[in-house]
Structure 1
Amino acid sequence: MASNLVPFQDLNLYPDPPATSTPIIPKIEPKLEPLEEPPSPLGPPPGLHLSNASTFPDPAAAPSPTSSDADVYAEFYRISELFRSAFAQRVEKFGDVAILPDSDPDSRAIVPVSNPETQVSDVVITPSGSRKYPTRSSELVRVTDLKPDDHRYFRDLIRRTRMLFDSLRVFSISEDEKHRDIMVPQRRTRGDLKASALMRHSGLWLNRDKRIVGDIPGVSIGDVFFFRMELCVVGLHGQPQAGIDYVPASQSSNGEPIATSIIVSGGYEDDEDQGDVIVYTGHGGQDKNNKQVVHQKLECGNLALERSMNYGVEVRVIRGFKYEGSISGKVYVYDGLYRIIETWFDVGKSGFGVFKFKLVRIENQPEMGSTGMKFAGSLRIRPLEVRPNGYITFDLSRKKETYPVFLYNDIDGDRDPLNYDYLITTVFPPYLYSSGSTTGCECVGGCMDECLCSMKNGGEFAYDMNGILVRGKPLIFECGPHCRCPPSCRNRVTQKGLRNRFEVFRSRETGWGVRSLDLIQAGSFICEYAGIVLTREQIQLFTMTGDSLIYPSRFAERWKEWGDLSQIFSDYVCPTYPSIPPLDFAMDVSKLRNVACYISHSSSPNVFVQLVLHDHNNVCFPRLMLFAMENIPPMRELSLDYGVADEGMGKLAICN
């Protein structure tokens, strides 16, 4: 395990590069990459102190773990130690220099930074009072030879960090909505800026204590981000606006800047993007309308890209593009590693000199995420042209759902899902509807704060104005048939059927699985887990006949993770209201089922179960509604944590 992290080669090993001849031009400020909105100054919230946002804090300063968390913390500190040590034999193998004597306990292969105050790439948000954040490390390292357990650990770390970011963003917007005067127009709340600032103040930004060359552990090719600030939080790209992330010359061990990642977003008219090959235009020289008006210079990020080419340093490529339905108007997709193989100075379309860099994608990587998104877009419009073979039906639901559900199998002749009738929503015993309250809210124009249904939820709505779940709860009361509010009410999120186009597909790994043809936003509703509800007596009868059942009580309580802000707010308490008794019923899906029944099991799921009531008031029989735990890219398989199930029960038995 000691070889997982190796210092990057010291660039002083190489001969001095030849002088580059460039036109004499006036000095200009580097042009920032186009962004949906420029970041605004945001100070730390009351009671929070600025601290270094290191991925791996000092173990001595960490809170004492509980017995149940002991293994997690042990693994955390084991991986942390990998990022704190370097070994001479690996250094020598990769040609590193500047190795301090073995007797030196603080030996590092990269020369420490001598002038951190000039760090360019660390300017993210300037808090009030002119206090500055600790700078990012300039120590270049590459992560290698991770074992499966290491990959799972880092993936879960990234997943939880992103979930916290999304939860904070939604929470910030929801809180502003509560206090907003509807008579006074206000600027749109930038929840992404607030979330990133809170996480930074709490030291929760990742990959700050080392500058990683190559893939970021835990970030997969194809991962989708809605905000530039989220890229900064996970350490994938450290610049909130600039398209080139690099170690500045003032911090480099040999006084030369080195680029580690770029964002390709079409902000420069001379860019050429062919997927595996990119001609990337350097930055600088544009006006506010993104028109080139001045010659570019070989400095800052441009020089960093040229030096990375010279030293053979690969760069991460993130593609940004407009996407219909995105909450920010754009999406950013991680597409893998590229090498810079050529650079030249050319006359651009506007007649001004620009630097161009040719990048070629490194072989043997998974398919680019942007390619998968374009492929899914084509499937939505003309599926047979894109995939002529494999479709069994174009609507498994037989027009019962809002959107058709594709059924696809290009592996074998199995057509099993056609043998079941499609059930669009759960069927409960009739007596549940003949008892209980028949009163509802009187919000004719749509529910407002402090209405009856809001009070049933503890005085607040569970969803924001866009229908995103603010935080998981034991139970959510939605408006029902006795309420006077319209179908468009913000408190009727799970009653409107599918919001996305899904495909049930045959997989060699998981049997039947489910994937979306659309990008699903974290916190959004996916579908209901539907079946026929059975009483205790009926359960015994079905068990005797050998039929497989779904037990709602066995689903892991992943709802507690969505909206968990305990890492940010010390007084945060997991919601316990509205409370419900233990669920004592089962659902039969042996003859009727919906798309949810084909979702695969995972101990690190991207979907969770949230209990909801809307058409009756018996808290012993809630509906199982599924929500997204993270941004789910098109064509990525959905997964649920089915919890502990007896042999012969659970999804894997009934569907595979």
Structure 2
Amino acid sequence: MGSNSVVPFQDLNLYPEPPTGPAPAPVIIPKIEPKSEPLDEPLPTPQSLHFSTPSPAPATAPACSPSSSEADVYSEYYRISEMFRSAFAQRLQKHGDVAILPDSDLNSRAIVPVPNPETQVSDIVITPRSGRKYLTRSSELVRVTDLKPDDQRYFRDLIRKTRMLFDSLRVFATAEDEKRKDLMVSHRKTRGDLKASAFMRHSGLWLNRDKRIVGDIPGVSIGDVFFFRMELCVVGLHGQPQAGIDYVPASQSSNGEPIATSIIVSGGYEDDEDAGDVIVYTGHGGQDKHNKQVVHQKLECGNLALERSMNYGVEVRVIRGFKYDGSISGKVYVYDGLYRIIETWFDVGKSGFGVFKFKLVRIENQVEMGSSVMRFAQSLRIKPLEVRPKGYVTLDLSRKKENFPVFFYNDIDGDHDPIFYEYLMTTVFPPYVYNSGSNNGCECIGGCLDDCFCAMKNGGEFAYDMNGILVRGKPLIFECGPHCRCPPMCRNRVTQKGVRNRFEVFRSRETGWGVRSLDLIQAGSFICEYAGVVLTREQAQIFTMNGDSLIYPSRFAQRWKEWGDLSQIFSDYVCPAYPSIPPLDYAMDVSRMRNLACYMSHSSSPNVFVQLVLYDHNNVCFPHLMLFAMENIPPLRELSLDYGVADEWTGKLAICS
């Protein structure tokens, strides 16, 4: 990583003031508060959490706070949670890109420019900072550039793990809430995303709070999809839990002028115009609780910050929010890259009141917008041959065996190999597997509860929440099976119902064969089974001699331990060890019969993991290999597994011994 990977943002005081012209006569109106997108409920405070958390130090609400009644809500989210030491400072120190000042506390550092506004600064120094856990959010502007590939992977993995912790906490909080509801315990339902973000903040796990990054956030890729606004705050992509404009307030700016760093375009204003690469964004303020413009807007707070960003040529991050069927929150937020503000004006809006408008143009040479990819994927789901007239070999590789057709696409060469395999929906076990073990099932005729027989086999709780999302990874999960009396829609019958999304096997220049979804896949949700024909040790030895393709389940990395790992939040967290199973001493033949999972690529930072599940038999030596999403997977993003052992030539598992 070069010495200029992280540079202080330009001193705005060095820029001359733009020429002034005749200004329009000001409209004398009462102060207009910034418009915020409403939350379903107030943000949780430490006292509202069901777990013990330290009380934060008092914080000061930023300039132009929404209102006195909401000040406490906003002030909670204008504090720094913990320095970004492992993700940023210490890594830069490792590469020799920073100067280290003497410091008795090496675990308490912050990255700031040399504090001299009159001097042109080219280096970053690490200075000691207070031992307080909660500090006011930094106003220091920095830009990250020219990261080396290993650093890009590092930050990507950091973002991935942070988001996985957020999702694990959210699902855990939701599952706990469901338990209290089942037990008829009187309680006020709290949103899981708000609880998760609060826990992470109090544990010092919010990222990028000790600096304001101008431009791309290291580790966040264009096209990344978020289901909740609070997750944007956790990773530092957009620091406002409600307001659509994130900016450094004038009271914190070194030159006394606010500077905007990101906006959310969500269609909340009737005068917005979104053409993709060009946006006409309406400033905030002047709306009532029904999102109706009722007074004129003023050039202050976020509106002034956007105007100042245009004046200084500061690019802003654009996140698009829109409704999405199947989203747990009803909406999704997609990071679409960097834009420049090229024009601003005051206009009369559709409601008859004055509004500020800002024209933003997307910066060139960026990858395709995530929102465009999502629209393209939607078109593929409806009319694939119209969208892609060439390249499809078949529109259903599964031959109607799956719940949804599996597309097969190859526009690179004439290799049509996948169509010659027999498609398996589920793994084929030897007959004797079904004759061993107990065949007892639960007696839950109306639906399973946490005290049923199958829940007891799982340690006294179900592995999934009410939406079928895996709460935490376990060595083995028992689902209800053919000997249970519960209905097919039982919450404990998730993986046996088959795929829920539309997938596409495709030819890739980078990985050979690959798999991608045409749908947005939520973190923790079931994807498909890794299916093949099970062989005993003796059979596997014979098949290997013939050169057939074998999968060894014991080689898969135990990534299930990462999903639901709350050790960073709760000191008494212990990785699940029950139900325990013996080592997997069998192989799977996929040389003639297989399913779509066999075409997934290997990755050391996968977005899919293997979870062992039993449902149609009780022989713990022969579980199903069920695949779950480790993160939110946008449409058309390739799915990847950690096979444990990879072939250096193909990037796939070395499936032949």
CA–CA distance in 2 between the matches of 1:73 and 1:587?
Answer: 46
Residues 355-389 of structure 1 show CA distances to partners (whole Å, capped at 9, x for unaligned) of 00000000000000000000000100111111111
Amino acid at match of 1:54: E
Residues 284-314 of structure 1 show CA distances to partners (whole Å, capped at 9, x for unaligned) of 0001111111000000000000000000000
Call closer, same or farther: CA 1:156–1:107 in 2, change over 3 Å.
Answer: closer
**Counterpart secondary structure, 1:481:** coil
The unaligned stretches of length 5 or more in structure 1 are 60-71, 113-130
CA–CA distance in 1 between the matches of 2:123 and 2:493?
Answer: 66
Aligned 8 A contact 2:609 2:642 in 1: yes
| Segment drifting more, 187-196 vs 234-243 | 187-196
Please report the RMSD computed on the Cα atoms of aligned residues, expressed in angstroms.
2.8
**Residue aligning to 1:473:** 474
Match among 35, 45, 54 for residue 49 of structure 1: 54
Aligned 8 A contact 1:54 1:207 in 2: no
Question: How far did residue 439 of structure 1 move?
Answer: 1.0
**Residue aligning to 1:533:** 534
Is the aligned partner of 1:25 residue 2:28? Answer: yes
Question: How far did residue 180 of structure 1 move?
Answer: 1.8
**Residue aligning to 1:624:** 625
Counterparts of 1:449-598 in structure 2, within 5 Å, are 449-598=450-599
Residues 23-79 of structure 1 show CA distances to partners (whole Å, capped at 9, x for unaligned) of 3232334243334525334225453225642342389xxxxxxxxxxxx99748637
**Residue aligning to 1:408:** 409
**Residue aligning to 2:151:** 150
TM-score (norm 2): 0.89
Amino acid at match of 1:606: N
Aligned 8 A contact 2:424 2:594 in 1: yes
Question: How far did residue 135 of structure 1 move?
Answer: 1.4
Using the aligned pairs only, state the percent identity. Answer: 78
CA–CA distance in 2 between the matches of 1:209 and 1:487?
Answer: 50
**Residue aligning to 2:119:** 99
**Residue aligning to 2:608:** 607
CA–CA distance in 2 between the matches of 1:588 and 1:647?
Answer: 21
**Residue aligning to 1:418:** 419
| Segment drifting more, 520-529 vs 1-10 | 1-10
Aligned 8 A contact 2:230 2:241 in 1: yes
Amino acid at match of 1:380: R
Aligned 8 A contact 2:216 2:337 in 1: yes
Question: How far did residue 98 of structure 1 move?
Answer: 3.0
Amino acid at match of 1:159: R
Aligned 8 A contact 2:159 2:220 in 1: yes
Aligned 8 A contact 2:406 2:505 in 1: yes
CA–CA distance in 1 between the matches of 2:11 and 2:90?
Answer: 32
Residues 557-577 of structure 1 show CA distances to partners (whole Å, capped at 9, x for unaligned) of 000000000000000000000
Call closer, same or farther: CA 1:183–1:566 in 2, change over 3 Å.
Answer: closer
Call closer, same or farther: CA 1:25–1:185 in 2, change over 3 Å.
Answer: farther
**Counterpart secondary structure, 2:135:** coil
**Residue aligning to 1:175:** 176
Aligned 8 A contact 1:642 1:650 in 2: no
Question: How far did residue 503 of structure 1 move?
Answer: 0.3
TM-score (norm 1): 0.89
Is the aligned partner of 1:376 residue 2:381? Answer: no
**Counterpart secondary structure, 2:193:** helix
Call closer, same or farther: CA 1:355–1:645 in 2, change over 3 Å.
Answer: closer
**Counterpart secondary structure, 1:180:** helix
CA–CA distance in 1 between the matches of 2:165 and 2:552?
Answer: 29
Call closer, same or farther: CA 1:241–1:483 in 2, change over 3 Å.
Answer: same
Residues 551-595 of structure 1 show CA distances to partners (whole Å, capped at 9, x for unaligned) of 000000000000000000000000000001110000000000000
**Residue aligning to 1:121:** none
Amino acid at match of 1:33: S
Question: Alignment length, in residue pairs?
Answer: 617
CA–CA distance in 2 between the matches of 1:102 and 1:463?
Answer: 52
Aligned 8 A contact 1:601 1:651 in 2: yes
Aligned 8 A contact 2:166 2:197 in 1: yes
Match among 91, 94, 109 for residue 78 of structure 1: 94
Call closer, same or farther: CA 1:37–1:104 in 2, change over 3 Å.
Answer: closer
Residues 528-573 of structure 1 show CA distances to partners (whole Å, capped at 9, x for unaligned) of 0000000011011011111121000000000000000000000000
CA–CA distance in 1 between the matches of 2:96 and 2:461?
Answer: 40
Residues 376-409 of structure 1 show CA distances to partners (whole Å, capped at 9, x for unaligned) of 0010011111111111000000000000000001
| Segment drifting more, 24-33 vs 358-367 | 24-33
CA–CA distance in 2 between the matches of 1:389 and 1:407?
Answer: 12
Residues 63-103 of structure 1 show CA distances to partners (whole Å, capped at 9, x for unaligned) of xxxxxxxxx99748637975956788xx9xxxx95339999
Aligned 8 A contact 1:397 1:405 in 2: yes
Amino acid at match of 2:374: M
Question: How far did residue 154 of structure 1 move?
Answer: 0.2
Call closer, same or farther: CA 1:571–1:140 in 2, change over 3 Å.
Answer: same
**Counterpart secondary structure, 2:433:** helix
